[in-house]
Amino acid sequence: MPATTVSALHLPELAGTDLGVGPWHEVSQSDIDGFATLTGDEQWIHTDVSRAKLSPFGTTIAHGYLTLSLVVPLLAELLDVTGVTMVVNYGLNRVRFPAPVPAGARIRLAATVTEVTRIGDDCYELIILSKLECDRSTKPAAVIELIYRTYE
């Protein structure tokens, strides 16, 4: 699905807009290992393939924060804001990880802009409800309420 492109002038019209669902992306064991090395979180459930086979998941799983970090580039596939000097990931209101992402699984993002608020003279704040879907689960891998700010 192509990204929704909107100019700064039309940001208020985005409130309530379903941005759709993006394409699938694989989360490989190499991705998981790289994140483990980068963060120092090398817990066996993420990195020890042999031991993880005996876990309730039957395989290694991605870190929750790895899946969370993928939301920003996946959202860029769904929303493109033009006519601004920058778009800032301002934070999160709520994050939940209802289901794991096994190594080799595919994920994709579904997102809806729930609110758009003018902040000062040159800024809009967007609240975006995002669900990270996993092809190996009926539950979402993550449900995130993102806060983005755009600056003119």
Tell me the pTM.
0.93
Q: What is the pLDDT of residues 18-76, one digit of tens each?
A: 999 999 999 999 999 999 999 999 999 999 999 999 999 999 999 999 999 999 999 99
Higher pLDDT, 87 or 2: 87
Q: What integer pLDDT is reported at residue 3 of this predicted model?
A: 84
Q: What integer pLDDT is reported at residue 64 of this predicted model?
A: 98
Strands 142-151 and 123-134: antiparallel
- Delineate the domains of the chain, giving CATH numbers in brackets: 4-26+62-151 (3.10.129.10)
Q: What is the pLDDT of residues 90-129, one digit of tens each?
A: 999 999 999 999 999 999 999 999 999 999 999 999 999 9
* Confidence label for 2 from pLDDT (cuts 50, 70 and 90): low
* Residue 1 reports pLDDT greater than 80: no
Q: What integer pLDDT is reported at residue 92 of this predicted model?
A: 97
